[in-house]
Every structure is written in structure tokens, then in C-alpha cells.
Amino acid sequence: MDDSDLHLLLTIRHFELALLRLFEQGRIDGTTHTCLGQEYVPVALRPLLTDDDYVFSNHRGHGHYLARFEDPAALLAEIMGRSGGVCQGVGGSQHLHQGRYFSSGVQGESLPVAVGAALSLKHAGSSGLALAYIGDGTFGEGAVYEALNMARLWDAPLAVVVENNHIAQTTPTDRHLAGSISGRAAAFGIAYHGTGSQDLSAIRADLEPLLRRVRDHGEPLVVEFDTVRVGPHSKGDDTREPAQLQAARDRDWHTAYERSYPDQFAAADASARGAVDAAVAEVGAREPSDWRVAC
């Protein structure tokens, strides 16, 4: 992959690792859901999105955000409650908005909102689309099906990106999902594409024509990434057996890439780590963020 993709992937990786450290040091409150292992999903999608597109992210959204805006300092400031945060520290890790990007911490509720955004684009004659990220566990929410139904009925240019990491908090997918995600897309007559690839170029080559169909014909699409959560659900709460964790690590794009391209990796890793460390030092020294209750 090219250096800029690798740099972004590793920036997200180091960003998430830094957050886990900051938590341990008691320098961040609340919760944080890192996307360790899943960084490649939004990075793969990055060049396929345009400025007209809306992105609706979820609780595990740092990678989604950084792939869109590449400003780790603003996101870190938001999460640390320091000045210059994306949302003045009001939203924290899970409630981010900038430009055409929105996230929320309530599972599933952004899917119908994304349908509304998609209809807005369609009504305005734009070729933009609304992309909503969702985990496998969130397929338990009724709002998801109301949204899929309306998206198909009304030909809303909606792309649902499923990050199926085979676990929802502590519940494995086979304990929460009957049937399959492809079957659920089929039930609504919605186009579906599944991939287990972690190769950015291959993913992009597959998805480019599919997303073009969403744009040109206003037909919704479900893309399922068979992926892997390498870190805990949030902070330090991993209940998986050591063997399961090892299996997850064995599928980590990070290990595989490091092994295949040691020189490129080492250089990019050092530079991304340096950039994140510098951001932690700089943002950590900022004033607390300022926000006044609006009346």
C-alpha cells in the first residue's frame, strides 16, 4: 500500500493505543471503544467518499473520524476535554459532528437518520450518498430494519457498512444473530457485498463500482466486512479466552503487514507514533475546554 494509507492506518493505531494508556493513567474519563484491528475499514473507504457524502458513525468511531478528517489533535482534545476539541468536549468520544460527519452512542438509531440524509441528497439532485457504520450486534435493533425497509422502498442512496467483528461487547455473534446479515439484506431486496479482505486496493476495486451504483441509481447497499477486534470492547474489558484473543491477533492486518514489508512499516510506524506522542503532549498541556449552556 502507499505511504499515505499506511501512515493513516498507523496513526489510528497509535491514537487508540495512546487512549488506552491515557485511561490507565486516569487522564480520560468515561469510556472509549478503540478500533484496534479494524482501522483498515475506514481507510479503505476513504478515497471512495466525496465531500458531498454524509458519514454516520457509531461508538467505535475514532478510525472513521480520523480517516475523514486526519486531525488527531482535535479528536484527542475532544476526548480529553481540552480546548480545540471537535465539539468543545461536550460530545466526547461517541458524539462527534463536523461538516457532514455525525456520530452517536445509541446503537442503531443513526440508520434511519442516515436514510433521511440520503433522501435529502437525492432530493437536491446530488450524487452524494449517506454511509452508516454499524456493528454486527446492532442488528438486534428494530430501527435498523425500519431503516433498511424505507431505504429500499424509497431508493435512498444509503451504504451500510457492517463491521462484523464477531462479537458485541461480550456476546459472540452466534449468540445474538439468527440467520445472517446477507440474509437480512436479501429480505429487503438490498444489494449485499461481503468481504474478508484486508487489502486496501482489493477492497477499493470491489467497492468502487458498487458505491457508484448507490450514487447513480439511489439503490441502497449493505457491505459486510468480516473483521476482527484486537483490543477490548472498551478500556480493559475483554472476556475472550486467550485462544480466541490469539486467533484475533493472528488476523490483525498490522502483524501481517509488518511481517511482509518490514522497512516501509518501520519508517511509517516511527513517524505515526511520533506524531501521536507529540499530539498527546501538546493537547494534554492545553486548557480545559470551554462551553456555556445555551439558553
Helix (H, G, I), strand (E, B) or coil at 117: helix
Is the CB of 166 or the CB of 286 nearer to ligand TPP? 166
Give the C-alpha separation, 228 to 251, whole Å: 7
Which helix (DSSP H) or strand (DSSP E) does residue 195 occupy?
Answer: strand 191-195
The reply to whether 120 sits near other proteins by the rule CB under 8 A is yes
CA distances from 53 to 12, 15, 207, 259 (A): 22, 25, 15, 35
160 binds other proteins (CB under 8 A): no
Beta bridge partners of 101: 55, 98
Contact flag: residue 123 with other proteins (CB under 8 A): yes
* Pairing relationship of beta strands 97-98 and 101-103 according to DSSP bridges: antiparallel
Q: Please give the grid coordinates belonging to residue 170.
A: 461480550
DSSP 8-68: HHHHHHHHHHHHHHHHHTT-S-S-----TTTTHHHHHHGGG--TT-EEEE-TT-HHHHHHH
Which residue lies nearer to other proteins by CB, 121 or 221? Answer: 121
Residue 167 interacting with other proteins (CB under 8 A): no
Cβ-contact 219, 213 below 8 angstroms:
yes
Per-residue contact string for residues 232-271; x = within reach of other proteins by CB under 8 A: ----------------------------------------
Question: Can residue 97 be called a binding residue for other proteins (CB under 8 A)?
Answer: yes
Among positions 1, 19, 130, 168, the unique one binding other proteins when judged by CB under 8 A: 130
Q: Which residues bind ligand TPP (CB under 6 A)?
A: 59-60, 105-107, 135-138, 163, 165, 167-169, 233
Among 77, 150, 167, 200, binds other proteins (CB under 8 A): 150
| Bridge pairing between strands 167-168 and 171-172 | antiparallel
| Choices 150-158, 207-215, 236-244, 249-257; region in contact with other proteins by CB under 8 A | 150-158
Answer for which of 57, 93, 104, 198 binds other proteins (CB under 8 A) is 104
CB of 102 to other proteins, least distance (A): 7
230 within 8 A of 249, measured Cβ to Cβ: yes
Asked if 137 touches other proteins (CB under 8 A), the answer is no
The residue count for binding other proteins (CB under 8 A) is: 39
Shorter beta-carbon distance to other proteins: residue 86 or 159: 86
Binding residues for other proteins, rule: CB under 8 A, are 54, 85-91, 95-97, 102, 104, 106, 109-121, 123, 130, 142-143, 146-147, 149-150, 153-154, 291, 294
